[in-house]
Amino acid sequence: PHVTDRAAAQEALEAAPDADGQGRITVTLPVESPDVAFSQLLGLGPEAEILSPPALRARFTAAARQMTTLYEG
pLDDT in tens, 1-43: 577 778 888 888 888 888 898 888 898 888 899 999 999 999 8
Whole-model pTM above 0.75?
yes
Q: How far is CA 55 from CA 9, 51, 60, in A?
A: 23, 10, 9
pLDDT of residue 61: 97
Cα gap 71→73, rounded to integer Å? 6
Residue 52 lies in a domain: yes
Q: How far is CA 29 from CA 11, 62, 73, in A?
A: 9, 22, 34
pLDDT of residue 54: 97
The total number of structural domains in the chain stands at 1
- Residue 45 reports pLDDT greater than 70: yes
Average confidence (pLDDT) over 50-63? 97
Residue 60 lies in a domain: yes
Residue 11 lies in a domain: yes
Q: Which domain holds residue 36?
A: 6-72
Residue 63 lies in a domain: yes
